[in-house]
Structure 1
Amino acid sequence: MTFIVGENCIKCKYTDCVEVCPVDCFYEGPNFLVIHPDECIDCALCEPECPAGAIFSEDELPDDQQVYLELNTELAQVWPNITERKEPSVDAEEWDGVTGKLQYLER
């Protein structure tokens, strides 16, 4: 089992979750974070730390966000690892809660 970063992270990219991850399984893209599913130990520490509520247990991933399981797997292979908290996107508060953000995902 793994945790998945879902849609609400796009254009928000809060990194509070990164700070608590004991195995450094987060990877950073231009406007989104992902979790490497083979590195995640299912500790659940990251989920409550996400201010945007964008992290889900694999078995609790909403049906309309199943594509993010594949995206987390794919992008964790190419994006750099992130191990320290950074400032969120400058307009994170404006994007928090906006739906249909997949079109804005920057690779």
Structure 2
Amino acid sequence: MTYVVTETCIDLKDKSCIEVCPVDCIHEVDEDRMVFIDPDECIDCGACVDPCPVDAIYAEEDVPAPQVPFTQINKIYFKDKVAAREQVDGIKPPA
């Protein structure tokens, strides 16, 4: 199991979650519109959930139905960043 960052993080990237992650599994770069949690590094501690000001982070099994595509987006990001970015843009086009 892992934690998943969902749509409300897009274009916000508050980074409070990054500051509290004990294993540095939450990644962010300038060209991304949101942060991503590496499912292979996440230890399922949940430390990132409460600091998120927009409630964008869920345990994988608790992701709300409309946000389920973000489970796959978070997973593919670490294998194909371009594909993940395209999927994010498809869900919420850039302003």
Indicate the TM-score class for this superposition, using the shorter chain for normalisation: 0.7 to 0.9
Q: Structure 1 CA distance, aligned partners of 2:11 and 2:91?
A: 10
Unaligned ranges ≥5, structure 2: 82-89
Mark the CA change 1:41 to 1:21 in structure 2 (over 3 Å): closer, same or farther. Answer: same
Select the structure with the greater relative contact order (CA < 8 A; seq sep ≥ 6): 1
Matched, 1:63 2:65: yes
In the alignment of these two chains, the number of paired residues is 84
**Aligned equivalent of 1:36:** 38
Q: Which residue of 1 aligns with 2:7?
A: 7
Q: Can you give the 5+ residue segments of structure 1 that lack an aligned partner in the other structure?
A: 80-100
- Give the fraction of aligned pairs with identical amino acids, expressed as a percent: 39
After superposition, residues 1-107 of structure 1 pair within 5 angstroms as 1-29=1-29, 30-77=32-79, 102-104=91-93
* SS across alignment from 1:49: coil
TM-score, normalised to structure 2, is: 0.80
TM superposition shift of 1:27: 1.6
